[in-house]
Chain A
Amino acid sequence: MSNSSTKSSTFFPEPRILPGGEKEFMMDVATSDLEISMGPQHPATHGVMKILIRADGEMVTAAQPHLGFLHRCAEKIGENVEWLQYLPYTDRYDYLASMNNNLGYSMAVEKLLGCEIPRRAQMLRTICVELNRIASALVAFGTYGLDLGAFTPFLYAFREREWLLQIFEKICGARLTYSYLRIGGVFNDAPPGWLTEVGHFCDVFEVKAQEYYDLLMVNKVFVMRTANVGVITPAQALDFGLTGPMLRGSGIDFDLRKDMPYMLYGEAWDAGAFEIPVGRGEMGTLGDCWDRIYVRVKEMTESLGIVRWCLANIEEGPVLADVGKTIKVPPGEAYVGIENPRGELGHYLVSDGGKGSSRCRVRGPSFCNLAILEDIMPGTLLADAVAIIGSTDVVIGETDR
Chain B
Amino acid sequence: MDFQGIYDRLKEQGAAGMQEANLPRLPDPADKKDKGRGGDPYVLVDPAQICAFMDLAKKDERLHFEILADLSASDPAVDAENFWVIYQLLSVKHRHRLMVKCSIPKSDPRIDTISGINRAAGWHERECSEMFGITFNGHPDPRNILLPDDWVGFPLRKDYEFPKEYQGISCI
Contacts and interface: CB of A to CB of B under 8 A. Distances in A.
A353 B35 contact: yes
B70 A350 contact: no
Interface string A250-289: 0010100001100000000000000000000000000000
A344 B145 CA distance: 21
A71 B36 contact: no
Nearest to A361: B72
Interface in B37-54: 37-40, 42
Contacts of B35: 330-331, 353
Interface residues of B, number: 41
Interface string B91-103: 0100101010000
B37 A359 contact: no
Given A335-B97, A350-B74, A358-B77, A400 B146 contact: yes
A333 interface: yes
A241 B147 CA distance: 23
Nearest to A66: B145
Contact of A332 (B37, B95, B156): B37
Nearest to A359: B74
Interface in B81-116: 86, 88, 90, 92, 95, 97, 99
B119 interface: yes
A15 interface: no
B66 interface: yes
A238 interface: yes
Contacts of A379: none
Contacts of B172: none
A175 interface: no
Interface stretch (A94-102, A110-118, A225-233): A110-118
Contacts of B144: 68
Interface string B118-161: 11101110000001000000000000111110000001100000
Given A71-B146, A71-B147, A344-B69, A337 B123 contact: no
B78 interface: yes
Contacts of A363: 69-70, 72, 88
Contact of B37 (A76, A79, A330, A367): A330
Interface string A336-350: 010000001010111
Interface centre among A241, A348, A354 (most CB of B within 10 A): A241
A241 B68 CA distance: 6
User: Chain A contact residues (Cβ within 8 angstroms of B): what range?
Assistant: 35 or more
A359 B40 contact: no
Nearest to B155: A76
Contacts of B55: none
Contact of B120 (A71, A241, A331): A241
B67 interface: yes
B146 A337 contact: no
A368 B92 CA distance: 16
A59 interface: no
B32 to A, nearest CB: 14
A363 B124 CA distance: 9
7 contacts: A238-B66, A334-B39, A337-B69, A348-B70, A351-B39, A367-B123, A401-B146
Interface of B: 24, 27, 35-40, 42, 66-70, 72, 74-78, 86, 88, 90, 92, 95, 97, 99, 118-120, 122-124, 131, 144-148, 155-156
User: Which 7 pairs, one residue from A and one from B, show the smallest C-beta to C-beta distance?
Assistant: A241-B120, A334-B39, A332-B38, A332-B39, A68-B146, A363-B70, A359-B74
